[in-house]
Structure 1
Amino acid sequence: MRSSISLAVAALATAVFATPSTENRTIDEIYQAALNEGGVVTLWHGGDEKNQQDGLKQAFEKRFPGITLNVTVDLSKYHDGRLDEQLANNDVQVDSIILQTLHDYPRWKEEGALLNYKPQNFESIASEFQDPDGAYYGYAIFGWTTTWNTAKYNGSLGDFADALLPELKDKLILTYPNDDDAVLYAFDLVIKKLGNEWFDALVAQNPTWVRGSATPGDQLALANNSYVAAFGTGGFSGPNVNTSLPTDAPFVTWPQTAAILKDAPHPEGAKLLHNFILSDEWQFATPQWTVRTDAPANFPDIFQEPNTNVTDFLPWMLDRPNVERLRFWYEARLGTAQGLSPLEDDL
């Protein structure tokens, strides 16, 4: 069911801003403008493995020869702080941001830090995922799943209750909920449905806790460890690895959200990137959840998924006192997140 709270509504209380520009050039005209500008785009993308956006970089640079996409992947909670420093110092060095920290976007818009710009296909983005002035908008639907290694477990896993199966004791690998807000939200949803008893029983399973939502899936794909399954974390596709969506408690989905900085050093390059990631070519390459409402008939509709609400992550993220209370609730039970940054741990 669609929530009445959306990315657009979150910014309605802000001041009046400049009239947004709507893109009416062809993609080749934008491409030429980006080349004339210097042929560079600097993107900060949220994530927890350095190579997670290599596919985007390669596809973009192949599609637009002569354009270099400098993409830096890091945890969104670190990217946003660094961007705030640049904004405070009037020294913006990044062109485009695509982050998980949805609560930052309304604030950055209110501060006048974002470019009001509507790329091609903006009107096809679900209204729940877009700021009405084009300051920011979802470009992809992310979500957490249940993941397991089929070579290590002769059965099917899916529901959060499955994490308590006796045969999975000492064989679970999970992301610290107090180290990643989306994972924190995932656990919050489960506990609201299954109760604290579920979490106490989960801890009794003696799982291995790690940093990074991609780390469990990466480890499950390896044959040289005993990890069998992960719940409420990033999905992974690979040999002997399967994923499913739980049904006994809601699972997390959200629109990973993009914006161009008003003072971007390479605004034309950023516009080219944003038009590309919202294009038919990128959005409809394979059937999957999409932010666009005009997807082909064989694409799944995120609003029809029975056990997730893709618009609820934003209001949850906006309530920072509640987020902090929950973080410390888990920290009191699990301790502080241990280990190097997932970008550096080589796990």
Structure 2
Amino acid sequence: MPSTRTLLQALLLGVGSCAANPLVASNSGPEVETRTLEEIHQAALKEGGIVTLWHGGDETTQQNTLKQAFEARFPGMTLNSTVDLSKYHDAALDEQLANNNVYVDSIILQTVQDYPRWNEEGALLQYAPLGFNEVAPAYKDSLGATYYGVAINGWKFIVNTNKSNVALNEWEDFLNPELKDKLVLTYPNDDDAVLWAFDLILERYGTGFFDRLLAQNPRWVRGTATPSTILRQANSTYAATFTSGGGFVSSNGVNFTLPTQGPFVTWAQTAAILKDAPHPEGAKLLHGFLLSTEWQQPRGWSVRRDVPLPANFPFGELDDNKNTNAGAFMPFMVDRARVGRLKDWLESKIGTPQGLSPLKDGI
């Protein structure tokens, strides 16, 4: 039965008892998928051939590649994907649950602290999709199978060498005088994954590093795709960032690197199917596709343990890199008191997020 709590209760309860153990398991076992993708495809077509996906992001076109690939792979299917900031998607989903009016099938969000709460409330489908057994334990609710990582995201060091010849190998390189007035960074008090990067920086290098970073006069923007876009613009003088993902193959003078000694952010973008999804077979098909080797392998680091890296991937195996821990993102996100304190401290230094919203206004 759908949750009967009010929207206000949803907003006030937060993560509740899940804070101690974010990977909370359900009491009963999940449905384990045994069909092939082709068999699920046929079931999804009989259901209507539609999947409604809410995906976290900050530009409306960010999931166009997924939509095109999914619809080409499974003729007759339509993937209706809506991209918005995860913090807005999760509030809107709480409203659906409070009103017993679920019309979304699948969610893939950065706000991973909400998955354990939704799991406890019984809002998520207990379902282990194809490929679930190969997903690393750190990225999934391994017993209940209600939520699991489907992609590894992370922030890279990015520099446009047409605008700066500074090599970015460690965090200290961003303090190079040549990068003064040339850094563009996402507000950390507007995005929790960016906030985590600053948490790691402050823990490793202290507030002195942050003060020196501020002395570089960075431009603060909203959205994590925004810095990468700006430093590529021909009429822009901004040259470098560490709050965007981008690709992994350098091109057109834009280079991607990672620190060899300092920490950096990676995390598993997490997915779930709503228990009352109107198109559960379509959602099962989508999640099986997302965890398939054909989708995972070309994208670099995989949530699956059995997927090799692409031949041209420059960064090596994620598990071999001691400077990042993608599984530590959820514990950070669940600790909302720590997140709130850090946001408040940073806001006292750089102010509230200002400027254009990439989803609504462009750059």
TM superposition score normalised by structure 2: 0.90
Contact 2:55 2:109 in 1 (8 A): yes
| Distance (whole Å) between structure 1 residues aligned to residue 197 and residue 296 of structure 2 | 26
CA RMSD of aligned residues (A): 1.9
Q: Does residue 53 of the first structure (1) align with residue 99 of the second (2)? A: no
| Distance (whole Å) between structure 2 residues aligned to residue 335 and residue 183 of structure 1 | 16
* SS across alignment from 1:220: helix
| Distance (whole Å) between structure 1 residues aligned to residue 260 and residue 298 of structure 2 | 28
| Distance (whole Å) between structure 1 residues aligned to residue 292 and residue 51 of structure 2 | 18
Q: Which residue of 1 aligns with 2:120?
A: 110
* SS across alignment from 2:124: coil
| Distance (whole Å) between structure 2 residues aligned to residue 317 and residue 331 of structure 1 | 18
| Distance (whole Å) between structure 2 residues aligned to residue 154 and residue 329 of structure 1 | 33
List aligned pairs for 1:190-269, cutoff 5 A: 190-236=201-247, 239-269=252-282
| Pick aligned residue for 1:293 from 281, 305, 326 | 305
Q: Report how many aligned residue pairs link the two structures.
A: 339
Q: Does residue 99 of the first structure (1) align with residue 109 of the second (2)? A: yes
Q: Which residue of 1 aligns with 2:361?
A: 345
Contact 1:339 1:345 in 2 (8 A): no
Q: One-letter code of the match for 2:106?
A: S
Per-residue CA distance 1:237-292 (angstroms, 9 max, x = gap) = 65221111123421000111010000001000000000101112111235x11011
Q: Which residue of 1 aligns with 2:8?
A: none
TM superposition score normalised by structure 1: 0.94
* SS across alignment from 2:95: helix
Q: Kindly state the Cα deviation for residue 296 of structure 1 after the two structures are TM-superposed.
A: 2.7
Q: Kindly state the Cα deviation for residue 162 of structure 1 after the two structures are TM-superposed.
A: 1.0
Identity %, equivalent residues: 60
Q: One-letter code of the match for 2:246?
A: G
| Distance (whole Å) between structure 1 residues aligned to residue 23 and residue 156 of structure 2 | 30
Contact 1:87 1:113 in 2 (8 A): yes
Q: Which residue of 2 aligns with 1:4?
A: none
| Pick aligned residue for 2:350 from 334, 338, 343 | 334
Q: One-letter code of the match for 2:343?
A: R
Per-residue CA distance 1:44-73 (angstroms, 9 max, x = gap) = 111111111111000000001110000011
* SS across alignment from 2:326: coil
Gaps of 5+ in 1: 1-6
Contact 1:221 1:240 in 2 (8 A): no
| Pick aligned residue for 1:83 from 93, 98, 122 | 93
Gaps of 5+ in 2: 1-18
Q: One-letter code of the match for 1:11?
A: L
| Pick aligned residue for 1:158 from 164, 169, 180 | 169
| Distance (whole Å) between structure 2 residues aligned to residue 232 and residue 68 of structure 1 | 32
| Distance (whole Å) between structure 1 residues aligned to residue 20 and residue 306 of structure 2 | 19
